Amino acid sequence: MSDIDTIVVATDGSDSVGRAVDAALDLATRFDAAVHALYVVDSGEVDSSPEAVRDQMRHALQEHGGEAIVEVQRRADRDVTAVVREGRPANEIADYAREIDADLVAAGTRGRHGENRFLIGSVAERVVRICPVPVLTVRQLEGDDAGVDAPA
């Protein structure tokens, strides 16, 4: 792999995405790369909620995203650009990587379950398929061992 100058970390704050954060930050340290932490408020989740609570749902998801990004910043040994966007997660991740001319996207393959789920299999798979830059997927294994999948 050639030099890595800019890394996007797609985060939802879950433990398995935390493993992707650690892998991305390790690469950032090795290559002295800029790090962008990206959280995407899933517009499909917001739109499918009852109209009376959509604004509350959007606000809660944005707040959760801010917390997830703060966690990335806390773990980093460098400044981290914080970005919260709304849309279809895989599309927003790919679009953002293209917009900032990223060299790598790091993503977890199993994220939070329930109403705040984000980077579970289908989203991570889609990111790998549509992203214009290499994607490092990091999966959670049973127990304490982290698994790193090959870049796509």
Quote the pLDDT of residue 36.
98
The structure tokens listed for 139 are 């999966």
User: How many Å apart are CA 41 and CA 86, to the nearest integer?
Assistant: 5
Predicted confidence (pLDDT) at residue 5 exceeds the cutoff of 80? yes
Quote the pLDDT of residue 147.
45
Mean pLDDT score of the chain: 85
Q: What is the pLDDT of residues 93-151, one digit of tens each?
A: 999 999 999 999 999 886 444 444 444 457 888 999 999 999 999 876 555 444 444 45
- HSE-up of 37 (CA within 13 Å, CB side)? 26
What CATH code would you report for 6-148?
3.40.50.620
Q: Which residues lie closer than 8 Å to 114 by C-beta, 6 or more apart?
A: none
Quote the pLDDT of residue 82.
96
Count of CB atoms within 10 A of residue 149's CB?
A: 14
Quote the pLDDT of residue 110.
66
